[in-house]
Structure 1
Amino acid sequence: MHGRNNPLPPVIREVVRGSVVAEFYGAPALVSRKRKQDPGRPMEHWWIIEPVARAILVAEELSAHPELVFADPGLPSSTTQANRYEHSISRKLIEKFIEHVNEHTDRTGLDDIPADRIAPHMFRKTMSILVGTEPGAEIALGLQLKHAATRALANRSTQGYAASDSNWARLLDTAIEDARFMRLRDLYDQHHAGQTIGYGPGADRLTNTFDTVKKTAMETTRTAKTGDKRTEYDLLHKTRIALRFGKLNHCTFDHNHPDGAKCIEEAVIPAGHTGPLIDRCQPGRCPNSVITPEHLKIWKSEETSLLTLLDTPKIALCRRDQLNRQLDDVRSVIRRAQK
């Protein structure tokens, strides 16, 4: 959608019956009340493409509400403004979406979505910023965000919408750091509960650090005559452990002591780069690699898949050589974990 004087689209819940105009300066349009960035809320014409016009007319026929085209059919008339969202179809759909994602995290590798309050509009801005850096994303987002006329006129509203701002970036960095520390804290608790948190030299250094934090916390609390997990977690946070979490392994690369890291051996390091070169990671050979029991399951599954492919009759010799090299790499990871 594109307004005559303003590129921001109207609130979809404000669309009422009879809002579609067949032609407005040569294109179909939608008459709706403008709310974004305008406290006066004037009525505006918003250009739309023909498929959108047809979709709104269909929605108008299907709507059971006497005025609104996109009213939530599951909204009980007796609910108050304060709790009506909790009883809406939108809320139920979000709950089902979260339930679906959380049920398949073992297959997708995603983290569980926490049980916080989530509204539909919260997906829009974050999705746009994350997708905005991908090749061809501006065009895709222009279509997804309905900036159709804006794209045709080569304006920059899609770029501006997808561009990261300082507040969003600051919140994202904080959220990433919080999530990272929560995972580190979980590993810390698992280690001190007697569980194996990983294999390899990287895991040994990590557990030694955890033991040092535990010892320091005990000495501190003995002096203060108090003691709880909070003291240990505070010390763990202050330790600033170099640990990057990954799907196939974790990395303990420390840019202050990079010696031995396989990913930077004989590599051209970009100017200003201080971290590992992820695309050159060698989980089975690098001393910074940590293979956890969860990682090991994935590597064993990959070994089985490669053996199945190698049993394929009449496989090309070059393809067989490639599979054998991959199998050697996979088995080097498994051997490290089984030592």
Structure 2
Amino acid sequence: MIYFDNSATTKPYKDVLDAFVTVSQAYFANPSSIHSKGGESERLLQQARKTVSQLLHVKPQEIIFTSGGTEGNNTAIKGVAMQYATRGKHLITSAVEHASSFETFHALETLGFDVTYLPVDEEGRISVDELKAAIREDTILVSLISVNNETGTIGPIEEVGKLLQEYKKIYFHVDHVQGIGKVPLSFTKAGVDLCTISGHKVHGLKGTGILYKRESVLLSPLLTGGEQEGSVRAGTENVAGIVSLAKALRMTFEYMDAGVRNMEKITSYMRDELEKLPSVVINTPKTQCAPHILNFSVEDVKPEVLIHALDQKEIYVSTRSACASKQTGASRVLLAMGMKEKRASSAIRLSLSYENTMEEAEIVLRELKKAVTELQEIMR
């Protein structure tokens, strides 16, 4: 089995699974309970919060544990919008955001908010100058993805953060789900006020996540009914999931330097080989791109047919974001980058983890070339 769909989800580390089981069995009490067993769970929860805050170089009270990227993005975007609506109702984002952000902005438009969707160039990046021109007196939030989940394009996050230092009433949210563990981001240096991270993208468990919230930022909560997570997210904490998430993040950071170098070698090799095929065009930019994502289109071959052909060889890849992988038609992200309908409708995404090997890449390429040739002959 060769798994090249790590942007959709990663396989949990064994130590992460072990931590989840151990905590589930031994520390099952509600951390809000005032008895000693509840106190044990509470101490474990706070230790995990401290571990995560140290890894991210922020304060423990700035860490909110969530169920993942979708909740984190919704909490940040809707939370700022609702909290500061009396200050202004103008929000800025881009045309290539993940669906969990993109659709959230659409939902806010129905509630009377005005959203500017910045266009991107052929490599999928916004213009900082265009962002500056879009800022208005009533702008309260800029929300951008740091690493595009389909193409791997790295956005100008630090440049945007530097610009927004001039606008003290505007908050800056970053969707760093695809960037964590692959593309370093200093929240302080980039002037980030809110940042979303998902556990299952870093070999943690599904249903776990982190929202970094700068201490001075106030959020209107999505979930009410309790004082958990600084009164931002009501509900009994998933202590086992949170501890396993802290473990996954720590292990990811430990392996990151060597892991990123490994992924860079593999994606560079695969890009070079794919570019030799006349029917293949690469959609991921050559520079300023994440080390783990390679997106390309294959002429005259339906991506879902190619995926199923590789699946029969126990090779697993995808078309786009897992949230949209079952949709047919052109990729919204690729269309926004100026690609024609045909190219944007035939994209394949390869996405790696630290554990993938060059030998696996060679097998994938061999089977990919074979499948493309066979499918193109059938289509003629």
- TM-score by shorter chain over 0.5: no
TM-score band, normalised by shorter chain:
under 0.3
Greater RCO (CA < 8 Å, at least 6 residues apart): 2
More helix by share: 1
Larger radius of gyration: 1
Name the TM-score, length of structure 2 as normaliser. Answer: 0.21
